[in-house]
Chains A and B, each alone.
Chain A
Amino acid sequence: MNASLRTLTFTEAAREGLAEEMERDSSIFVVGEGIGERGGNFNTTLGLFDRFGPSRIRDTPITERGFVGMCTGAAMAGARPVVDFMFLDFILDAFGELVNQVAKIQYMSSGRLRMPMVLRGCIGVGGSAATHHSGNYYPFFLHQPGFKVVVPSTPHDAKGLLKTAIRSDDPVLFLEHKLLLATRGEVPSEPYLEPLGRARVRRSGRDATVVAVGVMTPKAVAAADSLAESGHDIEVIDLVSIAPLDTATILESVAKTGRLLIADEDYQPCGVGAEISARVCADGFDLLDAPVARLNGAYVPIPYSPPLEQAVVPSQDAVVKALRDLLAE
């Protein structure tokens, strides 16, 4: 087997990236609940406690506001914290620290203090995790100046983006969808970085563009493949970066296709799709042959029971239907 074309799971790839960075820079430390000897609820730090010890792989009490505020001060004092929230839902206990402190300290200090902090957590609907363990929450951080947000959909991007996020002097949210964690993909064995702030064209086409967020990317690719059978040529963009939004890549695609669907598991109002739509309408109105369409998760708290849970997430069939409607416009 070619070593440079080995496959890893999303979690293994991200963990390898974290370990490489920690090896390179001793000011990096990780905080979280159960991330020490246990290796993390999602195996994010499995084996790293033995390599880096308790002050760099730091088990914390259940004190989300406390450790986010603490990591803020640590970043101000020159360390590079990685906050592992386990489920991203728990970040809400620290929201004041994030919006009022983390996002603003570089600005208020005229850039004399930096905020190199990674905030990682498991997002999304799946596995009957129910409403306190299924949130996506990324639009909050697009709204507030000062944050960068990535939602990778492949092991390759998970590793490359986590490494870049750790090296960034800005606070970066690194969000991992629970249904992607065990998915496998090719990951080079040589170290590499992936840039923040850039969307990826996963499949090129001429009839319509789907911008997919995170877990919607494989569904959008599958939907595009199935529409190809009926002669439709769909371009799929994996958004990857929520903040900043890579509007240029989207506009370039729309210039070619004239039709845009944004597929996002998260809620529709004031969401990522609303912002993309507004920007495309402002900067690319003449490129559009049809109104911008959005496909989102149902606007309800996430329910537990499988039939209810399935009812809130946009399926591959729903993407196909939304694309057919868009093509018929």
Chain B
Amino acid sequence: MSAAQTVHTAAHPEQALREAHLYKEMLKIRETELQLARAYRDGHVMGACHTYVGQEAVAVGVCAHLQVEDAVFSTHRGHGHALAKGVAATEVAAELFGRATGCSGGRGGSMHLFSPEVGMMGTTGIVGPNILQAVGAGYAFQLNGEDRVAVAFFGDGAVNNGAFHEGLNLASIWDLPVVFVCENNLYATEVPFAYSAGNPEVAMRAEGYGCPGRVVDGNDVMEVDTVAGEAVTRARRGDGPTLLECKTYRTRAHAEGMPEVGYRTQEEVDSWKARDPIALLRSHLMGTERVAADEISAWEDEAREEALAAIKFAKASPWPDPSTVFDFVDSSDSAEAARRS
């Protein structure tokens, strides 16, 4: 189902509110990412910076179904997941700037974003482990009799890793409340998924573990919203995990400073840009005539200003105090950590 097909099904005011929410969330990610990419170019963001540009519909459509108590375990390409789960753009930007005000206090950078207060249980520099950790959070929720849900986001590159195999199997045999969200953007770094997968249909693999698998148009936020809603509900009910394969595309380089084409063609990039998830929802919103064009423009201005404010906040934030470098290696500092947070 494409966004164009959903136009006339959105009749209710709640639907209009929901669409506005999804649109603003995607904009927030897009504008923040563009500012972070610029900050990388200017030398403010160090290390590796993998942007989420082009994939916004996945994080937003899934996280629209999550409560603060639900847990998200993300990847190296995790800014979008953090923002969609409710981490403030200021804290994400400050973390990438290496500042004390960042969501990990400057200890982590782009690939180690932690904000457990809002259920953001980390991005990771290693492909795979977050899948298993989501299974574990699901185990803890089930053990405690809570109706919380854990979500693992991961790329196509992770599905050939043992963590995917072991994690899906464990979640399936114990009916754990987990949603596995594969963002199949066709490449792992610069390696086509078709090259690295014996069976390139990720959703089909779910059958091998005895749990449902669904193929989703990952650029259609309304479709992600619908299917993710079903998967989250199923998990929350105690009926077990679901694997979603969201077919999408990153329209920037694997990481900032790397080539955008070469391993892929400009035509391919352009064809996906023509299906940009934000543009798709925008034209849908315009088509419904329930939102005025100037209202949409106002949202866009607001998102841009918030992203700029986040960068400004990061730039003005203090560097971490080197004397704190030994804090939190183990739990002996936990009491102090609790006081600070």
Taking beta carbons and an 8 Å cutoff, which residues of A are in contact with B?
27, 29, 55-56, 60-61, 63, 65-79, 81, 96-97, 100-101, 105-115, 145-146, 148, 168-170
Contacts and interface: CB of A to CB of B under 8 A. Distances in A.
Contact of A111 (B131, B136, B173, B337): B337
A168 B331 contact: yes
Given A77-B137, A112-B341, A66 B331 contact: no
Contact of A65 (B132, B140, B328): B132
B136 A76 contact: yes
Contacts of A67: 170
B107 A77 contact: no
Given A69-B163, A111-B334, 16 more contacts: A65-B166, A66-B166, A66-B167, A70-B139, A73-B138, A76-B121, A77-B137, A78-B140, A108-B122, A110-B104, A110-B107, A113-B122, A114-B331, A145-B329, A168-B331, A170-B331
Given A96-B129, A108-B114, A79 B163 contact: no
Contacts of B129: 69, 72, 96-97, 100-101
Q: Which of B105, B124, B143, B163 has the most CB of A within 10 A?
A: B143
Given A69-B166, A77-B71, A168-B331, A113 B143 contact: no
Contact of B150 (A68, A77, A112): A77
Question: Which are the 6 A-B pairs with shortest beta-carbon distances?
Answer: A69-B132, A73-B136, A66-B166, A111-B337, A73-B133, A169-B331
Contact of B116 (A79, A101, A112): A112
B336 interface: yes
B311 interface: no
Contacts of B328: 106-107, 109-111
A115 B136 CA distance: 12
B104 A66 contact: no
A61 B133 contact: no
B213 to A, nearest CB: 19
A79 B132 contact: no
Q: Which of B126, B132, B138, B327 has the most CB of A within 10 A?
A: B132
A73 B331 contact: no
Contacts of A70: 132-133, 135-136, 139, 167, 170
B132 A73 contact: yes
Nearest to B133: A73
B186 to A, nearest CB: 26
Q: Which of A55, A73, A96 has the most CB of B within 10 A?
A: A73
A27 B173 contact: no
A37 B166 CA distance: 23
B77 interface: no
16 contacts: A67-B170, A73-B71, A73-B138, A75-B136, A76-B122, A96-B126, A97-B132, A106-B331, A108-B122, A109-B104, A109-B122, A111-B338, A112-B117, A145-B329, A169-B330, A169-B331
Main secondary structure, interface of B, reads helix
Interface string B112-128: 10101100011011100
Given A79-B140, A114-B331, A73 B104 contact: no
B169 A61 contact: yes
Contact of A66 (B116, B132, B141, B143): B132
A56 B126 CA distance: 29
Contact of A110 (B114, B140, B143): B114
Interface string B73-117: 100000000000000000000000000000011011000101011
A70 B174 CA distance: 12
Contact of A146 (B117, B141, B329, B337): B329
A55 B337 contact: no
B73 to A, nearest CB: 7
Interface string B316-341: 00000000000111110110111011
A109 B328 CA distance: 8
Contact of A73 (B105, B134, B337): B134
A113 B137 contact: no
Contacts of A65: 132, 162-163, 166
A55 B143 contact: yes
B144 A146 contact: no
Contacts of A60: 170
B121 A73 contact: yes
B20 to A, nearest CB: 32
B233 interface: no
A107 B337 contact: no
B137 A74 contact: yes
Nearest to A171: B330
Contacts of A71: 136
A109 B139 CA distance: 21
Interface string B48-91: 00000000000000000000000101000000000000000000
B142 interface: yes
B143 A27 contact: yes
Contacts of A27: 140, 143-144
B112 A108 contact: yes
A74 B139 contact: yes
B126 A110 contact: no
Contact of A109 (B114, B131, B138, B173): B114
Interface in B266-314: none
Contacts of B338: 111
Contacts of B108: 108
A105 B122 contact: yes
A224 B319 CA distance: 56
B165 to A, nearest CB: 8
A66 B124 CA distance: 17
Contacts of A55: 142-143
Nearest to A31: B139
